[in-house]
Structure 1
Amino acid sequence: MRHKHGYRKLGRTSSHRKALLKNMAIALIMNEKIETTVAKAKTLRSYIEKLITKAKAGDFNAHREVYAYLQDKAATKKLVEELAPRYNERNGGYTRIVRTRIRRGDAAPMAFIELV
């Protein structure tokens, strides 16, 4: 049982989970809206919101911190220079999760996660 456990494992090893979140974060930054399962969307929400909060500083160190997580120059540049300044007056709540459908193959609940 996972009573009060800190995070979702998503059925993956720690390195696979880290890679999954990194790739989903890059996709969300570049497209500003992606469709995934509800569990992955909820996990990605905390990951991306922490990145946006770091990027809001907008200085060189913000670039370094965000790049350390994403390892993608284009996504880092877009996040720090275009997306993060949108949220300067906002204290969190940068993403929205909208449940969409039940996936046909495995009946997994699907959702859109998008930047507000």
Structure 2
Amino acid sequence: MSYRKLQRTSSQRKALLRDLTTELILHGSINTTVARAKEVRKTMDKMVTLAKKGDLSARRQAAKIVRDAVADVKEDGANVTVQTALQKLFDEIGPKYKDRNGGYTRMYKVMPRRGDGAPMVQLSLVD
């Protein structure tokens, strides 16, 4: 098998990866366990590759993975503009990495988790 099961059923695992990928898009970095980070890194690299393509087909494929979460709200007088995580992926993150051929994320080791001592990392997008 080429993926980690993360002690979850397939639907739970898919939901976990979708949530962590969306949070990484929204915030730019997340703190999680090493095993989860390695799996999210694969998903995030696929999402950035789709964002670099930028066509309608790629946007629909990415919409299957990225949750419909609000990334930013801008108010300009009576006009209110809401940016979702998918829009942020295609408008900001995709063009940012147009000249890069991979390796869009970076992992830094941090202190183990307090309760069970699980090894933790900070997964962030490369600047």
Shorter-chain TM range is over 0.9
Moved over 3 A (4+): none
Instruction: Indicate which of 29, 34, 38 corresponds to 1:38.
Output: 34
Q: Is 1:88 aligned to 2:84, yes or no?
A: no
RMSD: 1.1
Tell me the distance in 2 between the aligned counterparts of 1:20 and 1:92.
Answer: 23
Q: Which has the larger radius of gyration?
A: 2
Which runs of 5 or more residues in structure 2 are unaligned?
70-83
- Is residue 2:24 matched to residue 1:28? yes
Of all paired residues, the percent bearing the same amino acid is 48
Higher strand share: 2
Structure 2 CA distance for aligned equivalents of residues 8 and 68 of structure 1: 20
**Contact 2:33/2:119 (8 A) holds in 1:** yes
Q: Structure 1 unaligned runs (5+)?
A: none
The structure with more helix, counted as a fraction of residues: 1
TM-score by length of 2: 0.84
State the number of aligned residues: 112
Q: Residue 105 of structure 1 aligns with which residue?
A: 115
In the other structure, the counterpart of 1:49 is 45
